[in-house]
């Protein structure tokens, strides 16, 4: 995908999101409306980009949303803001309201799972002026298993937020892990069908390697004139932010240890990012057909 196309998709995502929000009488979206609209707008955006799949659009949307949450993360975790969110929740409980945290998440434009965690942390700390926060492992465990929260109303609210959040939370983590595993299996099946011998990351870790790609070829192949010793599978779209992080934390380590290799972004990538071919890292959006094997 060209950078120009990617920028066009991002601009349209932002436009549709703003248009949907402005259509509300009070200028705010409920959390349910917010996430329903997010899913519904993707097919409409796809009409303007016929060569882009819905899976790719979904990955781009998810990455853009997470960037937005990271930028505003600090603001929502400030002490007085946490106090305000907790007070709104307590007031809603007194009034017998339902979907308190979910509705508040839509009003403040924050991920429901993140807001649920903020309110849970404040609730566990006791007094509004208590500066001692609960231990992070405890909060993480309760977010994964809301049924362990002693307050049944809060447990229900937290569970609802986790279920309704498309981008954060334990359910989303499980889905991402499952999709990643699915595409790793697809890569291995392709290698098996081609009769290429390889070792996977579990086998490499057994041999003492710390940072490992998904597959290390026992015999290198060539792709468009580039030697490939290892292959990394990414069940996501390769945008500038994520690709830069992967290069720093993973790809250059693989290159330094195993030599040149290939990264497959199954949901596509920005073509202008494929600038390290000469150094030994090539990008593809599927397993290439024109490979050359060693006789």
**pLDDT the model gives residue 167:** 82
Domain residues of the chain, as ranges? 1-168, 178-293
24-46 average pLDDT score = 59
Number of Cβ within 10 Å of residue 15's Cβ equals: 12
Taking phi over 0 as left and psi of -120 to 50 as alpha, with beta for the rest, 255 belongs to alpha
- Using alpha carbons, select from 116, 109, 126 the residue that is nearest to residue 156: 116
Q: Which residues contact 106 (CB under 8 A, 6 or more apart)?
A: 28, 29, 30, 31, 32, 33, 34
pLDDT surpasses 60 at 35? no
Distance spanning both ends of the chain, measured CA to CA: 34
Taking phi over 0 as left and psi of -120 to 50 as alpha, with beta for the rest, 126 belongs to left
**pLDDT the model gives residue 129:** 43
262-275 average pLDDT score = 97
Looking at mean pLDDT, say which of 22-26, 81-85, 175-179, 268-272 comes out highest: 268-272
- Using alpha carbons, select from 114, 107, 119, 116 the residue that is nearest to residue 34: 107
Q: Which residues contact 96 (CB under 8 A, 6 or more apart)?
A: none
Beta strand 226-234 with 281-284 is unpaired
156-176 average pLDDT score = 89
Gap between the Cα atoms of 61 and 84, Å rounded: 29
**pLDDT the model gives residue 113:** 93
42-65 average pLDDT score = 91
Across all residues in the chain, what is the average pLDDT?
A: 88
The residue ranking higher by pLDDT, 127 or 205, is 205
- Using alpha carbons, select from 244, 241, 234 the residue that is nearest to residue 286: 234
208-233 average pLDDT score = 93
- Do residues 285 and 269 make contact, with C-beta atoms less than 8 angstroms apart? yes
107-126 average pLDDT score = 90
Rg, C-alpha atoms of the chain:
23
Widest pairwise Cα distance in the chain: 76
17-23 average pLDDT score = 56
Give the class (CATH, top level) of 178-293.
alpha beta
Instruction: Tell whether the torsion through CA atoms of 73, 74, 79 and 84 is positive or negative.
Output: negative
225-234 average pLDDT score = 96
């Amino acid at each position: 995908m060209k950078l120009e196309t990617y920028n066009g998709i991002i601009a349209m995502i932002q436009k549709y999101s703003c248009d949907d929000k402005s259509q509300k009488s009070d200028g705010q979206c409920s959390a349910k409306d917010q996430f329903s609209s997010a899913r519904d707008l993707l097919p409409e955006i796809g009409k303007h980009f016929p060569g882009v799949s819905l899976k790719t659009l979904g990955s781009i949307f998810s990455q853009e949303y997470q960037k937005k949450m990271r930028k505003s993360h600090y603001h929502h975790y400030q002490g007085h803001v946490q106090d305000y969110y907790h007070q709104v929740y307590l007031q809603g409980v007194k009034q017998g309201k339902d979907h308190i945290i979910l509705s508040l998440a839509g009003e403040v434009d924050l991920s429901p799972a993140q807001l649920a965690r903020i309110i849970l942390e404040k609730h566990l700390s006791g007094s509004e002026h208590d500066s001692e926060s609960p231990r992070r492992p405890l909060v993480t465990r309760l977010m994964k298993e809301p049924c362990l929260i002693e307050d049944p109303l809060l447990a229900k609210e937290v569970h609802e937020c986790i279920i309704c959040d498309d981008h954060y939370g334990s359910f989303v983590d499980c889905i991402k892990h499952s999709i990643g595993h699915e595409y790793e299996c697809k890569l291995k099946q392709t290698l098996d069908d081609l009769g290429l011998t390889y070792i996977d990351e579990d086998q490499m870790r057994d041999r003492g390697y710390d940072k490992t790609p998904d597959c290390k070829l026992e015999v290198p192949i060539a792709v468009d004139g580039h030697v490939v010793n290892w292959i990394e599978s990414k069940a996501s779209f390769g945008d500038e932010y994520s690709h830069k992080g992967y290069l720093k934390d993973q790809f250059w380590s693989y290159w330094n240890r195993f030599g040149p290799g290939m990264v497959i972004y199954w949901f596509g990538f920005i073509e202008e990012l494929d600038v390290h071919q000469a150094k030994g890292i090539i990008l593809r959006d599927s397993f290439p057909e024109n490979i050359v094997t060693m006789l």
